[in-house]
Structure 1
Amino acid sequence: MGLFRLLFWIAIIAAAFWLWRRLARSSATHAEKPDAMPKAAPMVRCQHCGIHVPRDHALAKGEKWFCSQAHLEQGSQSSEH
């Protein structure tokens, strides 16, 4: 009977340890998920081609936004004429 009690308590302790680790791991992943999601960057529309790009990657001239240096130059040339 003593061996049965010992095996019983070992099984209970092992199950409790497994359950504790599983709950600790799932709460850690839930805590990381909101921080892992990137924030949406404000988008602007290129005045030349109409493509939307993140504002921190776009080039500005006055109140107009452009997706590349070439479109900035083409856009400024076409607005002068």
Structure 2
Amino acid sequence: MKFVLVIAVVLVAVWIWRNNRQNERSDAPGPAPRRPASPAPMVACDHCAMHLPQDEAVRGQRGVYCCHEHRRQAEEAAG
């Protein structure tokens, strides 16, 4: 009977030890968070007024547009 009690105590001790080790790993700080990219300058489409990043805008003779179709429509209406 003593043997069973000793085994039970050892198993409980190992279980507690393993739980504490898992908690220590989860408490460790992870990798540092990445800094978000700086915001891109925004422009408004001269046809539909939708805002989009400046580097994605389509440049036309009369301004900037969100797509080639809006540039074509604006230039046909003006010319």
Q: CA RMSD in A?
A: 3.3
| Structure 2 gap ranges (5+) | none
TM-score (norm 1): 0.58
**Mapping 1:1-80, distance limit 5 Å:** 3=6, 6-7=10-11, 9-24=13-28, 27-28=29-30, 31=32, 34-35=33-34, 40-61=39-60, 64-80=63-79
Question: Aligned pairs, how many?
Answer: 75
| Structure 1 gap ranges (5+) | none
Could you tell me the percent identity over the aligned residues? 27
Instruction: Map Cα deviations across residues 35-71 of structure 1 (whole Å, 9 max, x no partner).
Output: 3856543321011111112223210125721011121
The structure with the largest alpha-carbon Rg is 2
Structure 1 68/77 Cα, relative in aligned 2: closer, same or farther at 3 Å? same
TM-score (norm 2): 0.59
Instruction: Map Cα deviations across residues 5-48 of structure 1 (whole Å, 9 max, x no partner).
Output: 63454244213211122223xx32x73xx438565433210111
Higher helix share: 1
